[in-house]
Homo-oligomer: A and B are copies of this chain.
Amino acid sequence: MSPTTSGPVRVTVWNEGVHEARQHPEWIGEIYPDGMHGAIAAGITEHLGERAVVRTATLASEPDHGLTEEVLAGTDVLLWWGHAAHEQVSDEVVARVHRHVLAGMGFVGLHSAHYSKIFTRLLGTTCSLAWRNEGERELVWTTDPSHPIARGVANPIVIEKQEMYGEPFGIPHPDEVVFLSTFAGGEVFRSGVTYQRGQGRVFYFSPGDQEYPVYQHPDVRRVIANAVVWAHRPEVERLSEEQLGCTNPPRRF
């Protein structure tokens, strides 16, 4: 009952880190000298300061892609960016992340993470969409300015250059649609949606292609920081694997 006594939110920003390799044909080092994970982490720290402790992890950086049981047990909210290497993420790690989300860890899927193993596992559908990469202007509108994830955010957010993501988006009916985007080409997209899965809160936010400096955008950074706060459930105890299973109560009532 006393959120004021809880410590800072422990955030892990996961990025496959493929476009960050200097030898990659679509190297993004000029836009993101610290990688997209670095920019995302910096944006969170910018907004939350000491209220967050942020670490990063990438596909190849460490064993288990940096997502060991210990790391996840110490993570309140996990952010996920992936695009070119979804298939390289091990099924074992996906199952582990999945379990932690159901047990109470927050999860924020970013941009092309819509097609990641973990996101489609959480949602149960294709999560496919229409796309076109021509650097179009995206306007991100909020349907509910009172939503905690939209707090303090311009309405609309104007992103000058972005990949277009359009409907139909193959997701289940969202619990909430916080943001709707329109594109210069005329398309529309449910760009900010929430779900509860088990005890975990899930938010998907589509802005953020690797080719454009979207994670430098002040409003995009604010949305992500807000989402971290929203997905964090300091008063909810993480369930053990056993507690996630069925129970067999004796007759009592």
Spell out A's residues near B (CB within 8 Å). Answer: 1, 3-4, 102, 104, 115, 121-126, 128-132, 134, 139, 141-146, 148, 151-152, 156, 158, 166-170, 172-173, 175-177, 180-183, 185-188, 190, 195-199, 229, 233, 235-236, 244-253
Contact = CB atoms under 8 A, between A and B. Distances in A.
Given A175-B173, A244-B126, A168 B145 contact: yes
Contact of A246 (B131, B148, B236, B253): B131
15 contacts: A124-B124, A128-B246, A130-B246, A141-B187, A143-B169, A144-B196, A145-B168, A146-B233, A156-B186, A158-B253, A172-B197, A173-B176, A173-B196, A181-B188, A186-B252
A102 B170 contact: yes
B253 A186 contact: yes
Given A167-B142, A167-B143, A130 B247 contact: yes
A173 B139 CA distance: 22
A210 B99 CA distance: 30
Given A126-B244, A245-B126, A172 B196 contact: yes
Contacts of A195: 172
Contacts of A188: 139, 141, 180-182, 188
B1 A185 contact: no
Given A134-B251, A186-B156, A1 B122 contact: no
B173 A182 contact: no
A11 B15 CA distance: 44
Nearest to A177: B177
A4 B172 CA distance: 30
A192 to B, nearest CB: 12
A151 B1 CA distance: 8
Contacts of A166: 141, 249
A229 B2 CA distance: 11
A247 B131 CA distance: 6
A246 to B, nearest CB: 5
Contacts of A144: 168, 196
